[in-house]
Structure 1
Amino acid sequence: MAKILCVLYDDPVDGYPATYARDDLPVLDGYPGGQTLPTPSAVDFTPGKLLGSVSGELGLRTFLEAAGHTLVVTSDKEGDGSAFDRELADADVVISQPFWPAYLTAERIERAPNLKLAITAGIGSDHVDLDAAIRHGVTVAEVTYCNSISVAEHVVMMILSLVRNYLPSNKWVLDGGWNIADCVARSYDLEGMDVGTVAAGRIGLAVLRRLAPFDVRLHYTDRHRLPREVEEELNLTWHPSTADMVPVCDVVTINAPLHPETEGMFDDKLIASMKRGAYLINTARAKICDRDAVVRALESGRLAGYAGDVWYPQPAPADHPWRSMPHHGMTPHISGSSLSAQTRYAAGTREILECWLEGKPIRDEYLIVQGGHLAGAGAHSYSTKS
């Protein structure tokens, strides 16, 4: 029998919800491009419920305990003597989310001799040391595409909120004011702007498709160029590198995975090459940007705004400078954890577990590391240090 250790974020401060804002979710037939939604044998949860917090347990307890397995769920993941470290010692499987990552460092993997599978309930497995997973024969899998559209919607929302100065304007209302001049002094139309994405995979391409109706000029850079018919359909301009693209853009959105090639990419030098007054949106990973370079660019006016929902570390400490820098639209890491997305990534997590426990192949598109090397989606999206 297996021990599954699941690290999830805390319940709402007022307790686990008794009711929800909506009674149901739209039913999706599949993902763009033809990939099917998760296909577990069954689910033991109601779609639309809060599944990503500790009480939600990703809907896994009944399924696992009925089969004789042990499920441990905790939000205590950092610090000396954390529940994560204590329980990891004899865990066979670790499940974590990008929004509340259980950082599976090389040291932690070394101290977990039974560990065979690390599942990301969501997308983005950079909180796992992939080189260490490769060395120790740990399979790494994530629920590819489960929340790609969720994140793309969040990106579009953040672009509009920055360009239109939405958040400061809303605050004037909350504070009882009617200060129109203050609201519009930093408000512009998105129409006619040049918008570029760093990476045009599932999320980046979905962002481009959603922005096309706004009558903007669309740009992208990616190490895998899109098919010509897609470029022509969306009137895309391809750039061979990020450095080539960002000087022409009014808005840049980062939709790339974090790996050695992207870490620290947006530093002082690259940001200095952007248009004065450009906007930068990062829902990918915080370490793609130099933390302090972003602060300096906002304070100097080089950037007109920065928005994102990814931080390092996560959760971000109270004194993290991105909390207090000017002209930002930061949120906690929520873009891919809507109740709609949770339904899909909980189902996908169970599908991966069912395959692994029954000795069946895990979908190729879910695999990041297997058999001592990058595999599946991981071979397409990631690079390693070795």
Structure 2
Amino acid sequence: MIPSPPPRHRLPHALGPVVWQDEPGTADRPPGPGFWAVTRHADARHVLQDPATYSSLPGPGELPLLRRLLSHQDPPQHTRLRDHAARALTPERVERFTRTARERARTLLAHALSKARSTDGVLDLAATVSDPYTSLNLADLLGLPHADRRRLPRWTGPTGPHALEDMTGYARELIVHRRRYPDDDLTTMLAHNARLTSAELEMLVPLLLTTGLAPMRDAAAGGLLTLAEHPEAYRRLREEAEELDSAVEELLRWHPPILTIRRTAATDTELSGRHVRRDDKVVVSLAAANHDEQVFAAPDRLDLARTPNPHLSLGAGPHLCLGADFARLQLRVLYEEVLRALPILRLAGPVPPSGSGVTNGVASLPVRAV
């Protein structure tokens, strides 16, 4: 059965679970080579869990700079570096951020609500709360000096070559800084790991910046948008009729922060009866996989108590989100504070998308300060 995601995530020509999609050119972009679109949960998981067949390495025509990022590496290099980062990002280190995250969410909400109530009664919940909340949490985790945090907004937009160059260049500066001035943060721990070379560190730190900024921002705003669009679900959550932990998972399923993940076939293979040739692009639609009727009962219904909930919004396999625990903590705390501060979560205008074809973000989230 073909998954039935929300209309904005449907693939226009997806007549089966794995189907070839052409990439026609546009006014500002030449035609692409085309790709295999993967929409079924089982196929998506298979692709993400099999790096020997479906490689993360950048292909011809992709930015050479991507080869410096851990997210575009394959095992065994990827496995070794990821293990070092995972040992630094311990559950205890993540849990220590709970108090800081809560104080930050409360402060941002209080300021935004006060300003809105003194003007037109409308606040942009993304621009004034969830965006700075997620960016500053990551800055604390990585140990970015306060003077450098003004750089964060330029890295949360589309990551073109200039943004990637700027980010990787800054990562080198941050590593040098934390070797000279150590602190209790993730960059300090990685920078003082004698088993990591400078080149390897320059893969890890930009990865943590790229995967921790825009996707986390989009997950937070996307979850709040979903709750605003489902007032009864918000009411039940506020009355503690639903468990917040399961709600976090369902909001991630419903509004994945990343829409697609691209891989390249490393060898000739077969996927759901389709012959995939070596070097073919294979694009997993996380939004479609998260609405697969073979896996999720009533997938087009928001169910904050849904369990189990094997969504793929945080990835799967070797590239499962390294900061998944940190992401869940941030979302849980943010939603708790919004539920406490706003008896009703009501949209106050249209919610424009961010315009990216890969991330699932919103440009603004106007709500009533009730």
Give the shorter-chain TM-score range. Answer: under 0.3
Higher helix share: 2
Tell me the TM-score normalised to structure 1 length.
0.24
Higher strand share: 1
Tell me the TM-score normalised to structure 2 length.
0.25
Q: Which has the higher contact order (CA 8 A, sep 6+)?
A: 2
